[in-house]
Amino acid sequence: LTEDEIKEFALTNQITIKSMGNVRPINRFDQLGLTSTIMEILNELNFINPTPIQKIATPAIMSGQDIIGVAKTGSGKTLAFILPAMRHIVANLPQKNIKKTNQTPIALILTPTRELALQIFKDCKLFLKNLNLRGVCCYGGSNISSQIAELKRGAELIVSTPGRLIDLLTSNGGRVTNLSEVSFLVLDEADRMFDMGFEPQIMKIIKSTREDKQTCLFSATFAKKIEILARKILHHPVEIVVGGGRSIVSDTITQRVLLVKQEEKFWKLLKILGDFMNSELNNTKKILIFCSTQERCDQLLKQVLEKGYSCLSIHGGKEQVDRDGAIQDFKNGNVSILIATSVAARGLDVKDLSIVINYDAPNHLEDYVHRVGRTGRAGQLGIAYTFVTPEEDRSANDISKALIMSKNVVPKEIDDLAKAFKEKAKEGKVKYSFGFGGKGLEKLDEIRQNTKKLERKLHGEEDLPDNSQQEKSTAVSTPKVTNEGSHVDNNDNGEHDSSLPSDLDFEVIDGPIPNKLDSSQFHCKIPINDLPQKVRVLLSQEYPSIIEATSVSITTKGTFVAPDTSPPDGEEKLHIIVESDNKMDVIHAVSLIKESIISGIKENEEEEVRRSKQHAPGRYTV
Q: Express each pLDDT in 443-465 by its tens digit.
A: 444 555 565 555 555 455 544 44
Report the candidate in 583, 586, 579, 589 with the shortest Cα–Cα distance to residue 517.
579
Cβ–Cβ under 8 Å, residues 507 and 485: yes
pLDDT digits (tens, 9 = 90+) for 193-236: 776 667 788 888 998 899 899 999 987 666 666 677 777 788 88
pLDDT digits (tens, 9 = 90+) for 8-56: 767 666 677 777 667 788 888 888 888 888 898 888 888 888 888 888 8
Cα three-residue angle 241-247-250, rounded to 5 degrees = 85
Cβ–Cβ under 8 Å, residues 330 and 380: no
Report the candidate in 109, 177, 120, 547 with the shortest Cα–Cα distance to residue 343.
547
Question: At a CB cut-off of 8 Å and minimum separation 6, what does 112 contact?
Answer: 161, 162, 188, 189, 192, 193, 195, 196, 198, 346
**What's the 3-state SS for 255-283?**
EEEEECCHHHHHHHHHHHHHHHHCCCCCC
Q: CA–CA separation, 203 vs 165, rounded Å?
A: 12
Mean pLDDT, the chain, whole residue set: 78
Partnered with residue 486 across adjacent β-strands are 508
Q: CA–CA separation, 438 vs 604, rounded Å?
A: 23
Question: At a CB cut-off of 8 Å and minimum separation 6, what does 5 contact?
Answer: none
Q: How far apart are the first and last CA of the chain?
A: 86
Q: CA–CA separation, 50 vs 26, rounded Å?
A: 8
Q: Which domains does the chain have, with CATH numbers?
A: 3-242 (3.40.50.300), 253-426 (3.40.50.300), 453-612 (no CATH)
CA dihedral 94, 98, 102, 104 (to 10 degrees): 20
More confident position, 1 or 598:
598
Residue 515 pLDDT more than 80? Answer: no
pLDDT digits (tens, 9 = 90+) for 329-349: 888 888 889 999 876 555 577
Residue 484 pLDDT more than 50? Answer: no
Share of the chain above pLDDT 90, in %: 16
